[in-house]
Amino acid sequence: MPSLELIGRWLSGIGLFAAGMVVGAAVYMSVHQANFSLLVERNTVLVDENDNLKKELQNLNKFKNSQSVIKKITVRVENGTSSPTPAIDPIAEQELKQQVQKVLEPVYVGHSLTLFTSGAEDQRTAEILKLRKIVSQPYTVKEHTYKAEFSSMAIVQTELIVYIKASASAVDSFSFH
């Protein structure tokens, strides 16, 4: 029969080995999770870019003989550093931009640039207020509600660029998930 001292040393060695296996598995899993999160983020950006390029190509082919129409709408999110709410994660930001763009495209793509560039001051102001109203609404992205606020806009050749400020909705920021 082996001595108790020998069994005690073996048990402590086996316990140390088992603890090392658990710690090693945890470290491996955290590295794997970080890499997978990065991969999902890159995939989301690339899928969004691919969809935008397909839409742009379709619109350019549709309106290739028209010089003064809105052919493309781009939505950009401004990050305010003075905002008390935390910045939204990049995947949710991409989805939010897609949703705002889907709301704006049926209203403005194919319409004349003169809506914003010429005509009476009242008409241009009314069109900008209409754009502000369309954009400034709550959007649901991955079980979270975000409030988009119209910040500014620019027209570059045949592209309408809309800048928004996004923040987590007050109702959503206090919910328990």
pLDDT digits (tens, 9 = 90+) for 68-117: 888 888 999 987 655 556 678 888 888 889 899 999 988 988 888 888 88
d(C-alpha 175, C-alpha 177), whole Å:
6
Helix (H) or strand (E) holding 58: helix 4-62
113 Cβ neighbours under 8 A, 6+ residues apart? 68, 69, 70, 155, 158
Tell me what the mean pLDDT of segment 144-149 comes to.
88
- In the block, tokens 């009314």 appear at 126
Two tokens, residue 37: 């999160």
Q: Tell me the C-alpha distance between 50 and 45, whole Å.
A: 9
pLDDT at residue 177 above 50? no
Q: Residue 174: pLDDT above 80? A: no
Cα angle: 50, vertex 51, 56; to 5 degrees: 100
Q: Most distant CA pair in the chain: distance in Å?
A: 103
For 30-49, the pLDDT digits (tens) are 999 999 999 998 998 899 88
Task: Supply the DSSP symbol for 73.
Answer: E
Q: Please answer whether residues 135 and 107 qualify as being in contact, where contact means their C-beta atoms are separated by less than 8 angstroms.
A: no
Average pLDDT over every residue of 8-34 = 93
pLDDT score at 17: 94
Per-residue confidence (pLDDT) for residue 31, from 0 to 100: 96
**How far is residue 163's CA from residue 24's CA, in Å, rounded to a whole number?**
46
Of the chain, the percentage scoring pLDDT greater than 70 comes to 91
pLDDT band at 63 (very low <50, low <70, confident <90, very high): confident
Q: Please tell me which residue, 147 or 82, carries the higher pLDDT value.
A: 147
- Retrieve residue 172's tokens: 């959503």
Report whether 152 contacts 146 (CB < 8 A).
Answer: no
Closest CA to 49 of 16, 84, 70, 74: 74
Task: Please state, for a pLDDT cut of 90, what percent of the chain lies above it.
Answer: 28
